[in-house]
Structure 1
Amino acid sequence: MLSRTLSRVLATTALLVTALATVVAAGLPTAAASRPPRILRNLAYAPAQPAGTHGHLLDLYLPGQPAGKPYPLLIVMGGSGWMADDGKGYAPALAPYFTTHGFVVAGVSTRSSLQAKFPAQEQDVRAAIRWLRANAGRFEFDPDRIAVLGDSSGGWTALMAGFTGTGVRAVVDLFAPIDFLRLDPDMLPGACASFNKAFHLARCHADVASPESSLLGCPILTCPDRVAAANPLLRVTPSAPPVLIIHGTEDGLVPLRQSQMLFDTLAAASVPATFYTVPGVGHSRDIVSPRAPRATIRHTGTPLTRNFPHPTYGMIESFIRAAYETGTQPTPPLARPRTRTW
C-alpha cells in the first residue's frame, strides 16, 4: 500500500513538473502572431427568468488561431454582491490573455438576488456548465478540461460549482465570501462602518438588507439552515477539484479570514490548494497583477504553482494546467500545509 501511494505521489509530481515547464511565466500575453479572439455574445444557456433579464446569458471568446486539438475552457464570473445579473462582464479583462494562450473563455451571468433567491445562482451556473459541455464540439473545447474563476460573489459561485459534482477540474477563487456568519466578527477595524456607508446599511453583513441576507431571503442571523446551505465549506470532500485562492490583507468587504477557513478546510480534506495572501491589497481585481506586492504562498500537498511571487494571469494559467494533469482524484496527504513568503 505504501509503495503504491509513493508511486502515485512521484507520478503526480512528474506530471506537474512537465505541465509547469510549458507555461509562460509572464502575466501578460506574449504571442505576437496570435489573432484577436472571436466573440459570440449573449448566448442563452437557459430561458430568461424573469422575462427580459440577463442572468441566463453567456459570452464566448474563441482563440483566433485554428485548434490543433480541443482547447481547455475557462468559465469566468464577476462579482456584484449578487445584486446584478451581468457576471459575464468580467470576462473581457481575462479573455485577451487566455485566448492567446490556448483557452476558450466563457463569461457567464447568473440571476441576481433581486430576481431569484438562493439556490437559484447555484442552479444557474450548473445549467451553464451543462449547456457548455453539451456544445463543446461546436465550439472546439474539451468538455473534460473545464475550470471556473470568479471574484467576490462570483468566486462564491465558482466554489459552489466546483464542489457540487459538475466535473469542473479547477477552481480559482478571488476573495470570495465563504461563511456568512463569520463575516462581521472578522472584519478589519472600522471596516463595518465603511461597509454600512457604501451599502446604506446599519448592521454590516448581518443587516436585513445586506448582500448575504438579500441572497438568502432572510436576515442571516435568523436562518442558520439557509446560511449553512450556502456555505462552500460544507460542500468540500476529498474528491473536490484543486482550488487556487487569492486574497488581500486589506480587504474591507470580505475578511481575509474567510479564505483562510477555506484553505484550512481543503487541507483537512487533502484537496490540492494554493493560497496567495497579498499584503496591502483590498477588495480589488487589481490583486491579479505582476505589480502586486509579493505574496505569502501556502500549499497543500504537491505545489501546483512554482516560481510565481505575484498572482498573475500566467500563474493562474500554470495552476489550471497543472490541475488538469492531476485529474479529479485527491492527492494523498503529504506534509502539513507549507508557508512560503517571497
Structure 2
Amino acid sequence: MKPRRFPVPAPATEGDLTIWRDAVVGEVSGFRPLTADIHRPADDRQRPLVVWIHGGAWRKGSNKGDAVARIPERLLEAGYAVARVTYRLSGEAKFPAQLHDVKAAVRWVRHHAAELGVDPARIGVWGESAGGHLATLLALTGKDPELAGDVGVLDQSDSVAAAVVWYGPSNLLSMAAQNHPEGLQDHDDPDSPESRLVGGPVQDLPKESAAASPVTYVSDAAPPILLVHGDEDRIVPVGQSIELHQRLSDAGARVQLRIVNGADHCLIGADPEPEVAASIAHLDRSLKPA
C-alpha cells in the first residue's frame, strides 16, 4: 500500500508569523499521528528551515514546550523557518522508531517545500539533549536507506545540510564510564533513559546500543556539525561530545566543539547567549547564501 501524502493544513497568521499547527507528517498503525508545527516569517521570501527536536530523555517532552534559551524563537528572529517536530517516546516504541519519525518530518517538509515557502536544499537541524542525539543521527544517516524507516513520505531525501547539537548523547556504551563525579544517574542501569530507549540494559544489548549511537555512523560525508556542551553536565557527560568531536575530526568531517565552562545540563550555570549566537552563525554559513 502506498504511503499517504498528508497535506499541508490551513495556515494561521499571528503578528509577523505564518504558522501551520499540528501538520500530520506520518502515521504509525496503533499510534497517534506524528505532527509538526511549522513557523515562518509572514512574507513571500523562500526561507531556509531548521528542524527543532526537543529533549526529555526520550521519555517525555513536547514540540510545543519551552526550549532552552528560546531557540526556536531566536531562529525565527534570524530569518529562518522552523519545524518543531514530534517523535515516539521510549515508553511507546524502541529505537530506531524515534529516528524514523524525525526523518519522516524532514521528508514531509521537503515534499511540501513550495507550499511552505522554504528551500528544500537548505534544511538544517538543531536539537538539545535527547533531541541532540536524534539531531546527530539525522545528520549522519541522511544517505542510509536502511535507517530511513517507512513512515510518511518516502520518495524524498531526509538529509540535512547542517546540524547544531546541544549536549547530546553520542555513544550509549561509554556514557557510564564518562559520567560526571556527581552524575545524577547510572546510564547502564536497566531503568536509565538509554536502557529504556534500546529495550534493555545498555551493556547487555551492545548491538542495539551501538545502533542507537551516533558515533557508529561517523564519516567524512557528514554535514557541518556544531557541538555545544557544558563541562559540568551531570546528566549527559561532556565526554560524549568530546568523543564524537574526535571521531568526526579523525574521519575528516567538518565539526566544531564548544565546551562551556561551569555549565551543567541545559547550560545551567552559564550564559547561553554566546552559544545561541555561535549556533545561529554556524547555521548561517551553510544555510544562507553569501
Q: Same fold (TM over 0.5)?
A: yes
Q: 2:59 touches 2:91 (CA, 8 Å); kept in 1? A: yes
The answer (yes or no) to whether the contact 1:149–1:171 under 8 Å persists in 2 is yes
Q: Does 1:81 align with 2:45?
A: no
* Alignment length (residue pairs): 259
Q: Is the 8 A contact 1:150 1:172 kept in 2?
A: yes
Question: Is this contact kept in 1: 2:233–2:263, CA < 8 A?
Answer: yes
Deviation digits for residues 261-300 of structure 1 (CA, Å, limit 9, x no counterpart): 010011111111111100111001556723xxxxxxxxxx
Aligned to 1:173: 165
Q: Give the alignment partner of residue 227 of structure 1, picking from 186, 196, 209.
A: 209
Give the letter for the 2:201 counterpart: P
Q: Report the secondary structure of 1:322's partner residue.
A: helix
Give the 5 Å matches for 1:268-307. 268-284=250-266, 289-290=272-273
Partner of 1:210: 192
Q: Residues 37-72 of structure 1: CA distance to partner in whole angstroms, max 9, x if unpaired?
A: 222211110115543x46x111111113x233x100
Identify if the C-alpha distance between structure 1 residues 243 and 205 changes in structure 2 by more than 3 Å, giving closer, same or farther: same
CA contact (8 A) 1:151 1:285 kept: no
Higher helix share: 1
Unaligned runs of 5+ in 1: 1-34, 196-203, 291-309, 327-342
Identity across aligned pairs (percent)?
32
Contact 1:88 1:109 in 2 (8 A): no
**Cα distance between partner residues in 1 of 2:272 and 2:67:** 16
Match of 2:139 in 1: 162
Query: How far apart, in 2, do the equivalents of 1:276 and 1:118 lie?
Result: 28
Displacement of 1:130 in angstroms is 0.6
Q: Which runs of 5+ in 2 are unaligned?
A: 1-14, 143-157
Report the CA distance between 1:102 and its aligned residue.
1.5
TM-score by length of 1: 0.71
Partner of 1:20: none
User: When the two structures are superposed, what TM-score results if normalisation uses the length of structure 2?
Assistant: 0.84
Correspondent of 2:27 among 36, 40, 47: 47
Query: 1:102 and 1:224 mapped to 2: Cα distance?
Result: 42
Q: State the partner residue of 1:190.
A: 182
Q: Would you identify which runs of 4 or more consecutive aligned residues in structure 1 move more than 6 Å?
A: none
Contact 1:50–1:115 (CA under 8 A) maintained in structure 2:
no
Paired with 1:213 and 1:88, the residues of 2 have a C-alpha distance of 26
For residue 82 of structure 2, what is the amino acid of its counterpart? V
Contact 1:171 1:241 in 2 (8 A): yes
Q: CA deviation at 1:94?
A: 2.5
Of residues 79-88 and 138-147 in structure 1, the stretch that sits farther from structure 2 once superposed is 79-88
Deviation at 1:186, TM superposition (A): 1.2
Aligned to 2:115: 138
Q: Is the 2:126–2:164 contact (alpha carbons within 8 Å) kept by the matching residues of 1?
A: yes
Distance 1:85 1:190 in 2: 25
1:124 and 1:285, CA in 2 relative to 1: closer, same or farther beyond 3 A? Answer: farther
- In 2, the alpha carbon distance for the partners of 1:164 and 1:263 equals 17
Cα deviation 1:64-102 (Å, max 9, x = unaligned): 3x233x100010011111102624535693233222222
For the Cα contact (< 8 Å) 1:40–1:60, is it kept in 2?
Answer: yes
1:128 aligns with 2:92: no
* Deviation at residue 103 of structure 1 after TM alignment: 0.8
* Other-structure match for 1:37: 17
The one-letter amino acid of 1:135's match is: H
Q: Which amino acid aligns with 1:180?
A: L
One-letter code aligned to 1:289: P
Q: Residue type of the partner of 2:211?
A: A
Partner amino acid, structure 1, of 2:279: I
Larger radius of gyration: 1
Residue 235 of structure 2 is matched in structure 1 by 253
